[in-house]
């Protein structure tokens, strides 16, 4: 570790509010009401049989964990199973064939509901179609689809025949797709003719064709007809129509291929990679058991629920908590193709009311947008079906947490603020909603069986209230197996650089900065390299941004360093109904000075309707740095709102 990358410690940030106990109404029906942490601690690693026992195995596993050369561990060795069987067939056998598996809501107003029987039939038919194209066990199939039902169908069809899938987010470019096809050595691609974005049709097939032209091997492509007459398309050589392929295998069933517990289920290429993409490999048994267990324990998912994770399946959250976790538990999962504000800003609340959603899991960036738009939109709808709320993807500040709790949950729903990564496979830090008090702004304690240390540059644990690196200190079932590009890179990027001899040889470096309080609650401060140097010390951008968002009327904020090298420039987006003013700017300045110190007081506060964000909702501070420092703009293709950068630059030029 490099001391230069550590953010400063101290108690200058009110990073979480007071304790909030679980609502009594939730406790009366919670799935988990006794803290499992002590029993997990006393019975580790055998405790993880609680996760393994949520699945059906073709061959029982010999042990929970087989020691190997760290970090290459085998979870549930000896066991064989099939992920598609666990997500489909067994629910039919349990009498849930007519239970809704997927409620799909399309951007153009379409609606489709698949029962578990419906999903089973189409997955089998498409699995047969893939086999007819030559897909065999262990062949990697690339999937480049928007949020349509054919996406989880393709994933489960691959799992059924033992072919790992590589889902590529539909918004990525042809070049990014080609890189991932090449890196995985994938000879099969599932895509579509196009998709809608805010009512406009976009040609996806053309991007896919350009990608295939640039790889060094032949690729068989299956094309889903998403847009019909809105975008007529022609199939070329090595291209096959999805509907025709499925119809050709109507009524066929495929015996699920037994997979060793540690066989690859999928490879997920992480977002924001530079150079060679980083393909994170997840196994079958450990991963599936872990996401089912965390969905049940943290999200309180039961087979009777209608559950909605408002993420994209192109990222790990969608894999774990739209597809595999909920379907393994036999629940109804909502699949939504649209945006939160189209055709109007109450779109999500209308769906929650109409579908009687029980559990809603979304990103803090979405919550801040809801807060910015105002309470008039959720207040139009009956949200009383909700019993639990969750957040994922980044830390949630206390003001946004409180707004979510009050205006979406009505003070009756616990909020689980979950921390995890592509590499962890599933949640690692969170409150257990029927057990733990909530601390707004703090994610919570490590989940049962998870070891966490917040350490300084020398690898020793920092004191309560101090800031350091977030590290995981022992294996867990959902952990990545390796990187598709090889074990050496896996070791170098996540393990070797974080080995601490006096703490033992096993330590996963998350790359995140965090703080732990005296109660063991962990506050995530963002990436360790998202830091500013002020008054000779390193501060997390989140510490300053959280202070700004604490000002009444502020929805979001991003801070960067200006041309002087130690001057803060703040970009601030306001809630609906709040107008920029000198008084509001003064409140921002005063709040930062009070929370952090005078040296952190922004030199400039720029009010902007939006902040530049990637399609996955992450703020692009790099572009704000370019604007601040008068540099040419870098690549803006990853932005979902590229026009805002020019607007911000114009605002600055006019000052």
Residue 202's DSSP bridge partners are 195
pLDDT at position 533, please? 66
pLDDT above 90: residue 339: no
pLDDT for 273 equals 33
Write the pLDDT tens digit of every residue in 573-611. 998 889 999 999 999 999 998 887 788 899 999 999 999
Phi then psi for 15, rounded to 5 degrees? -75, -15
User: What's the pLDDT score for residue 201?
Assistant: 79
Lowest mean pLDDT among 26-30, 104-108, 527-531, 549-553: 527-531
Confidence of residue 3 (pLDDT cuts 50, 70, 90): very low
Q: Which residue has the tokens 């049962």?
A: 448
pLDDT for 171:
83
CA dihedral 623, 483, 284, 427 (to 10 degrees): -40
What is the pLDDT at residue 500? 47
Q: What are the structure tokens assigned to 122, written together?
A: 């189409």
Give the integer Cα–Cα distance in Å for 256 and 271. 31
Cβ-contact 414, 5 below 8 angstroms: no
Average of pLDDT values for 178-207?
90
Give pLDDT, residue 12. Answer: 33
Distances (CA, A) of 53 to 282, 521, 620: 19, 29, 42
Estimate to the nearest angstrom the gap between the alpha carbon of 493 and the chain centroid: 20
pLDDT of residue 360: 98
Residue 17 has pLDDT above 80, yes or no: no
Confidence of residue 530 (pLDDT cuts 50, 70, 90): confident
For residue 16, what pLDDT is reported?
46
C-beta separation of 402 from 377 below 8 A: no
Q: Within a 10 A sphere around the Cβ of 495, how many other Cβ atoms?
A: 17
Contact 481, 266 (CB under 8 A): no
Query: Tokens at residue 371, please?
Result: 């807060």
Q: Which helix (H) or strand (E) holds 318?
A: helix 316-318
Angle between helices 621-628 and 643-654 (to 10 degrees): 30
If you average pLDDT over residues 466-489, what whole number do you get?
A: 92
d(CA 88, CA 255): 12
> Degrees (nearest 5) of the Cα angle 35, 523, 18?
70
Count of residues in the chain = 655
H/E stretch holding 644 = helix 643-654
pLDDT at 13 over 60: no
Which helix (DSSP H) or strand (DSSP E) does residue 371 occupy? Answer: helix 364-373
In this prediction, residues 533-553 reach a mean pLDDT of 79
Averaged pLDDT for residues 549-553: 91
- pLDDT at position 218 over 70: yes
Q: What is the DSSP string of 282-316?
A: EESHHHHHHHHHHHHHTS---TT-EEEE-S-TTSH
Mean pLDDT over the full length of the chain? 90
Residue 541 and residue 559 in contact, taking contact as beta carbons nearer than 8 Å: yes
Return the bridge partners of 537, or none. Answer: 534
At 538, the pLDDT band (50, 70, 90 cuts) reads low
Neighbours of 304 (CB within 10 A): 10
Per DSSP, 368 falls in state H
- Please state the φ and ψ torsions of residue 569, each to the nearest 5 degrees: -120, 125
> Counting runs of H as helices and runs of E as strands, what totals does the chain give?
21, 30
Judge whether residue 160 has pLDDT over 80. Answer: yes
Mean pLDDT of all residues in 548-565 = 88
CA distance 491 to 508: 10
Q: Which residue from 472, 539, 542, 532 is spatially nearest to 508, judged by alpha carbons? A: 472
What is the average per-residue pLDDT within 335-343?
90
CB atoms within 10 A of CB 585: 18
**SS3 call for 551:** coil
The pLDDT value recorded for residue 11 is 34
Higher pLDDT, 165 or 621: 165
Provide the pLDDT confidence category of residue 189 given band limits of 50, 70 and 90. Answer: very high
| Poorest-pLDDT segment among 131-140, 382-391, 613-622 | 613-622
| Helix pair angle (204-213, 174-184), 10° resolution | 50
pLDDT at 389: 98
> Does residue 193 carry a pLDDT above 80?
yes
3-state SS of 477-538? CCCCCEECCCHHHHHHHHCHHHCCHHHCCCCEEEEEEEEECCCCCEEEEEECCCEEEECCEE
Q: What angle do CA 369, 373, 379 make, to 5 degrees?
A: 115
Model confidence at 200: pLDDT above 80: no
Burial-class residue 317 by CB neighbours within 10 Å (0-12, 13-18, 19+).
buried
Tell me the C-alpha distance between 627 and 636, whole Å.
12
Model confidence at 15, in pLDDT bands (50, 70, 90)?
Answer: very low
How far apart, in whole angstroms, are the C-alpha atoms of residue 588 and residue 584? Answer: 6
**Domains observed in the chain:** 530-654 (3.30.300.30)
Q: Are 599 and 544 in contact (CB under 8 A)?
A: no
Average pLDDT value for residue range 165-175: 90
Cα–Cα distance, 235 to 190 (Å, whole number):
13
CA distance 194 to 230: 9
Residue 440 has pLDDT above 60, yes or no: yes
Q: Which whole number is the average pLDDT over 117-145?
A: 98
pTM greater than the 0.75 cutoff: yes
pLDDT given for residue 503 in this prediction:
45
Q: Using pLDDT thresholds of 50, 70 and 90, give the confidence band for residue 68.
A: confident
How confident is the model at residue 621, as a pLDDT? 86
Compute how many other C-beta atoms are within 10 angstroms of the C-beta atom of residue 2. 8
Q: Report CA 505 to chain centroid distance, whole Å.
A: 29
The predicted structure's pLDDT at residue 4: 26
pLDDT tens, residue by residue, 237-270: 999 999 999 999 999 999 999 999 999 999 999 8
Element spanning 151, H or E: helix 150-160
Residue 284 has pLDDT above 60, yes or no: yes
pLDDT range class, residue 631, cuts 50, 70, 90: confident
* Alpha-carbon Rg for the chain in angstroms: 24
Give kind and range of the element (H or E) at residue 66: strand 65-66
Q: What is the pLDDT of residue 501?
A: 44
Does the pLDDT value for residue 299 go beyond 70? yes
The stretch 529-553 carries a mean pLDDT of: 78
Question: What pairing do the DSSP bridges indicate for beta strands 141-143 and 188-192?
Answer: parallel
Q: What is the pLDDT of residue 536?
A: 58
How does pLDDT run across 312-332, given as a tens digit for each residue? 999 999 999 999 999 999 999
């Amino acid at each position: 570790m490099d001391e230069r990358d550590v953010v400063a410690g101290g108690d200058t940030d009110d990073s979480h509010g007071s304790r909030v106990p679980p609502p009594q109404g939730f406790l009366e029906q919670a799935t988990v009401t006794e803290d499992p942490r002590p029993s997990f601690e006393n019975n580790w690693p055998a405790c993880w049989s609680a996760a393994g026992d949520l699945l059906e195995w073709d061959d029982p596993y010999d042990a929970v964990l087989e020691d190997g050369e760290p970090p290459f561990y085998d979870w549930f060795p000896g066991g064989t199973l099939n992920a598609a069987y666990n997500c489909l067939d067994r629910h039919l056998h349990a009498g849930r064939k007519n239970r809704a598996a997927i409620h799909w809501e399309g951007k153009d107003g379409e609606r489709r509901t698949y029962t578990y029987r419906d999903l089973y039939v189409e997955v089998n038919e498409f699995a047969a179609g893939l086999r007819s194209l030559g897909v065999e066990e262990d062949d990697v199939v690339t999937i480049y689809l928007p949020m349509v039902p054919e996406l989880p169908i393709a994933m489960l069809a691959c799992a059924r025949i033992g072919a790992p899938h590589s889902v590529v987010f539909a918004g990525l470019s042809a070049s990014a797709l080609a890189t991932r096809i090449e890196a995985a050595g994938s000879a099969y691609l599932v895509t579509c003719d196009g998709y809608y974005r805010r009512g406009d049709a976009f040609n996806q097939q053309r991007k896919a064709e350009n990608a295939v032209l640039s790889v060094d091997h032949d690729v068989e492509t299956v094309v889903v007809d998403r847009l019909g007459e809105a975008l007529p398309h022609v199939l070329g050589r090595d291209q096959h129509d999805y509907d025709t392929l499925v119809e050709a295998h109507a009524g066929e069933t495929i015996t699920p291929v037994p997979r060793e517990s540690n066989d690859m289920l999928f490879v997920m290429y992480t977002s924001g990679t530079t150079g060679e993409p980083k393909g994170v490999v997840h196994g079958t048994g450990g991963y599936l058991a872990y996401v089912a267990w965390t969905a049940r324990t943290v999200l309180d998912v039961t087979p009777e629920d209608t559950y909605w994770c408002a993420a994209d399946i192109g990222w790990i959250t969608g894999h774990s908590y739209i597809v595999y976790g909920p379907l393994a538990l036999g629940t109804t999962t909502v699949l939504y193709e649209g945006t939160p504000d189209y055709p109007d800003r109450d779109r999500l609340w209308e769906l929650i009311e109409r579908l009687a959603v029980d559990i809603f899991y979304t990103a803090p960036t979405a919550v801040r947008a809801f807060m910015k738009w105002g309470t008039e939109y959720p207040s139009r709808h009956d949200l009383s079906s909700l019993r639990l709320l969750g957040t994922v993807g980044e830390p949630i500040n206390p003001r946004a947490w409180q707004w979510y709790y009050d205006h979406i949950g009505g003070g009756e729903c616990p909020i689980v603020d979950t921390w995890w990564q592509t590499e962890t496979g599933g949640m690692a830090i969170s409150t257990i909603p029927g057990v733990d008090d909530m601390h707004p702004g703090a994610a919570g304690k490590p989940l049962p069986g998870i070891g966490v240390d917040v350490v300084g540059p020398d690898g020793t644990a920092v004191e309560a209230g101090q800031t350091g690196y977030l590290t995981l200190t022992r294996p867990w079932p959902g952990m990545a197996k390796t990187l598709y590009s090889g074990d050496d890179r896996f070791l170098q990027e996540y393990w070797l650089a974080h080995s601490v001899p006096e703490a033992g040889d096993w330590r996963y470096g998350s790359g995140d900065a965090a703080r732990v309080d005296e109660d063991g609650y962990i506050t995530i401060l963002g990436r360790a390299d998202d830091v500013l140097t002020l008054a000779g010390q390193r501060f997390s951008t989140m510490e300053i941004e959280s202070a700004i968002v604490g000002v009444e009327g502020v929805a979001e904020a991003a801070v960067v360093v200006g041309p002087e090298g130690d001057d803060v420039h703040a970009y601030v987006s306001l809630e609906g109904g709040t107008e920029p003013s000198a008084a509001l700017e003064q409140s921002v300045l005063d709040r930062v000075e009070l929370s952090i110190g005078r040296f952190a007081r922004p030199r400039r506060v720029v009010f902007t309707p939006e902040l530049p964000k990637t399609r996955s909702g992450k703020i692009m501070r790099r572009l704000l740095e370019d604007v601040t420092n008068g540099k040419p703009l870098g690549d803006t293709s990853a932005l979902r709102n590229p026009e805002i950068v020019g607007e911000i630059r114009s605002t600055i030029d006019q000052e």
